[in-house]
Amino acid sequence: MTMPAGQYYVGDLCYVIEEWDEVCDLIIKDNQFLDGEFELSDGRRFAIYSTAYGDGVYNDEYGKKYSVDAGSIGCILVKDISRKDYGDRIDGYLGNFHNFEKPFQTYSEDGVLTFGQVKIDTHPEYEEEYEW
């Protein structure tokens, strides 16, 4: 799927879309979460994908962090953000702003969520060290 060029917020969309009930109506069918790109009734487009382990904090390949409280990460144009009450915590704390100079693909594969050049691994393999 393809999103148009522009400056995007990438992160949990529940922080930035005030019309969350409408989002849920679009992305949840028969108790199943639908991944992909969607359009709100007012024409704003967004992409959203479920995380492998639900809520938590995930990192992209650049070390930027993404806080998740709705079990998903998505992207929406910054100009289309309707929820302003998080202020300066939206960029760099809850999610991150990214500039996409040309249209870009979004998809999820094996727990890795891809938004153009941004890849967020929500199914990381950890090497655990045990002390016996």
pLDDT (0 to 100) of residue 88: 73
* pLDDT tens figures, 39-92: 999 999 999 999 999 999 999 999 999 999 999 999 999 999 987 777 777 888
Handedness of CA 90, 96, 97, 100 (dihedral sign): negative
User: Does residue 46 belong to any structural domain of this protein?
Assistant: yes
Q: What's the domain count of the chain?
A: 1
Name which of 108, 28, 40 is nearest 74 in CA terms. 108
In this predicted structure, the answer to whether residue 127 has a pLDDT above a threshold of 60 is no
- Report if residue 126 sits inside a domain: no
**pTM summary value:** 0.90
Is residue 42 one of the residues assigned to a domain?
yes
Parent domain of 98 = 2-121
Cβ proximity of 36 and 1 under 8 Å: yes
- 101 is written with which tokens? 């100079």
| 3-class secondary structure, 115 | strand
User: What pLDDT, on a 0 to 100 scale, did the predictor assign at position 82?
Assistant: 85
Distances (CA, A) of 5 to 66, 117, 118, 120: 21, 12, 14, 19
| Residue 13 lies inside a defined structural domain of this protein | yes
> Residue 37 forms beta bridges with which residues?
47
- Does the residue 127 lie in any domain? no
For 106, residues 6+ apart whose C-beta sits below 8 A from its C-beta are: 1, 2, 3, 36, 37, 47, 49, 75, 114, 115, 116
Instruction: Establish if 74 belongs to a structural domain.
Output: yes
